[in-house]
Structure 1
Amino acid sequence: MTDDNFSVEDLVNFVDYNNLFYTPAFAAACFGLTTRRLADIEAENGLDIRRIQRGASSARTYTTTDIFEISALRRALGQAKGIGRQIVVSTFVQKGGTGKTTTAVGLAVCGQLAGLRTLIIDNDPQGDTSSMLGYDPDLGPDDLAEMGIPADRLVDGHLGNLISPLLRMRPFEAKTLDQVIKKPFGENGIHLIPADNYLEDLGVALDASNNSDMWYAKWIDDATNGRIPGCDLSGYDLIIFDNAPSGSRLTKNSVAASELLLCPVRMDKFSFRALIRLHDWCARFAKEYSYSPAIAAIPTMFKRNRTRLLNNLLRLNELFPGGVTEEKIYFSEDYEKALDAGIPLMLWKGANKETLNAARTVYGEILDRIRGLAKAG
């Protein structure tokens, strides 16, 4: 029991992603295609999409596995292209409640659908990204068995297990990537390195090491170039770190490893102060390391025709010229409802089309910036 009124079962919403079914219109919209073009791709490549009976006729219906398999097929056919080299991205704003995890997961889903092989790393000991993707770090093997949740939803490894072999102080058992990685939507979907509260011990180990902010960068470089047995990151185009709302050692490591920071921010005065602190923090980081990642500031929970919000948006563009997305994430109950449903918003068929279209536009802008960074070399 978590308290006198609620049990663990009350707080966990297990969703079997294999039992989510989508219409042709939803599946086509994931790729920016018409339903006719989607049907042509399936016919041309012999894809067998199940059909359900509706009265006297039948209609195609898609699973998440189908959708991500189509994404992989489009990449193989050259209809959706990679980016030429790997790009690392981190979420970072020193303020909670701005939508960092929703942004990280949304970008990961859209990146994978756009043909980028995407790995999302939960770098927050609270494990919110892991939970959003169906891996609750608070559930042990007995909890899963009692609740009828598949055993493969167990979080039994995290980033610390992969980085420990590089460190002088080794707080975790070394594991291979295959032992840690999760694939909530199958092999062709986004991949996840989950987190739990033991990840905090990695920060202690990093503090005790030389060059304490640079170990994530070294790990990614070594793992991408074949220098770490059992940990190959070379197959990923896009790596996304989702961070806690703090400038912890874990966060600093992800920032130092990144070429782009995703900074979702509400336009209220408290969140806006966090952006000003971010601006100052980036300036100090650049001075210390002679390097600073690019910024993608995303206005979130935005409400139209609010003078104060528009004034703050103007100031945001002054702080980060060229770094603010043109489109905004508008306030919508869909975000909370998707969270309650246990399904990432970009894959929740209950979302309003306007909500989804605005989010897809924002993530499309960010993916364009990622392609630009990759092209610039």
Structure 2
Amino acid sequence: MITIAVANQKGGVGKTTSAVNLATAFAAIGWRTLLVDLDPQGNASTGLGIEREDRVKSSYDLLVDGIPIDDCIVRTQIPDLDLLPATVDLSGAEIELVEMHDRTGRLRAGLAEAHHDICFVDCPPSLGLLTLNALTAADRLLVPLQCEFYALEGLSQLLITVEQVQQRFNPELAIVGIALTMYDRRNRLTDQVSDDVRNVLGKLVFEAVVPRNVRLSEAPSHGLPAIVYDHNCTGSRAYMDLARELIGRLPEKRKAA
């Protein structure tokens, strides 16, 4: 299973929207896909239409209590897309994990029992133990980056964290790409930030950019990924383009039949 952490310690950059729609895009082409909601807010779970009362077991139970992942996963309305949901209990996991053995490797251990082709992990907007668990478990890191000035400062801190994780916990971790989100062509600053990021990081930055789009914002309130809610909107088409690019950057691993 290929595991991709979708992370940025800055909130409001389109991280959950990216994780949900990329996971849906991969499921749509027949990859058995798992989406792990590791954010205590549980927005990815809500965005896939999983009500709070249906989250009997969650990522908290897997991390803290060691419950087998098959007992925590719920099926979604999207064929081939499963979800490890999040509940508010996850907000206390940071404290509880501190005293635990292998506190940064518990997600990796839990995911070892999963039977999927690909896994996306929606991380919380911080660089705490939950995100460290995701980076330790991941083969690749995908970074959604909002096209605004302060996003660049946050990116530098994230890159430092990635280096530390590579040295201490997961030498196989690599950045698969930077995805520019909330792109507004009417704003000159957007173009400036985009140019700056591409000049510094080069081919790490995906060609596909995700625009500001009302339909992307509406979709979660209907419990649907945007590419199901309105597959023709500009935001959905951008995520489908991004998914195609991402496939081209993944290691060659034969999908299970």
TM-score, L = length of structure 1 = 0.62
1:39 aligned residue: none
Q: Is the 8 A contact 1:334 1:352 kept in 2?
A: no
Assess, with a 3 A threshold, how the Cα gap between structure 1 residues 276 and 197 changes in structure 2: closer, same or farther. same
Q: Distance in 1 between matches of 2:160 and 2:176?
A: 13
**Superposition map of 1:1-377 within 5 A:** 86-137=1-52, 140=53, 154-164=54-64, 166=66, 174=67, 176-185=68-77, 188-221=79-112, 223=113, 233=114, 235-289=115-169, 291=171, 292-304=173-185, 306-349=187-230, 352-370=232-250, 372=251, 374=253
Secondary structure of 2:74's partner?
coil
Unaligned runs of 5+ in 2: none
- TM-align CA RMSD: 2.2
How much has 1:185 moved relative to structure 2? 1.5
How much has 1:92 moved relative to structure 2? 0.7
Secondary structure of 1:322's partner?
helix
Look up the equivalent residue of 2:181 and give its one-letter code.
Answer: T
Secondary structure of 2:204's partner?
coil
How much has 1:277 moved relative to structure 2? 1.9
Which is bigger in relative contact order (C-alpha 8 A, separation at least 6)? 2
How many correspondences in the alignment?
Answer: 253
How much has 1:293 moved relative to structure 2? 2.4
Assess, with a 3 A threshold, how the Cα gap between structure 1 residues 118 and 317 changes in structure 2: closer, same or farther. same
TM-score, L = length of structure 2 = 0.89
Q: Is the 8 A contact 2:64 2:97 kept in 1?
A: no
Q: Is the 8 A contact 2:40 2:87 kept in 1?
A: yes
Greater mean deviation of Cα atoms: 313-322 or 105-114: 313-322
Greater mean deviation of Cα atoms: 284-293 or 103-112: 284-293
Assess, with a 3 A threshold, how the Cα gap between structure 1 residues 165 and 136 changes in structure 2: closer, same or farther. closer
Q: Is the 8 A contact 1:88 1:258 kept in 2?
A: yes
Q: Distance in 2 between matches of 1:216 and 1:359?
A: 27
For the pair shown, the structure with the greater C-alpha radius of gyration is 1
Deviations 1:111-151 (A, max 9, x none): 111221001011111111111111233xx4xxxxxxxxxxx
Greater mean deviation of Cα atoms: 250-259 or 209-218: 209-218
How much has 1:210 moved relative to structure 2? 3.1
Q: Is the 8 A contact 1:127 1:136 kept in 2?
A: no
Assess, with a 3 A threshold, how the Cα gap between structure 1 residues 161 and 328 changes in structure 2: closer, same or farther. same
How much has 1:283 moved relative to structure 2? 2.7
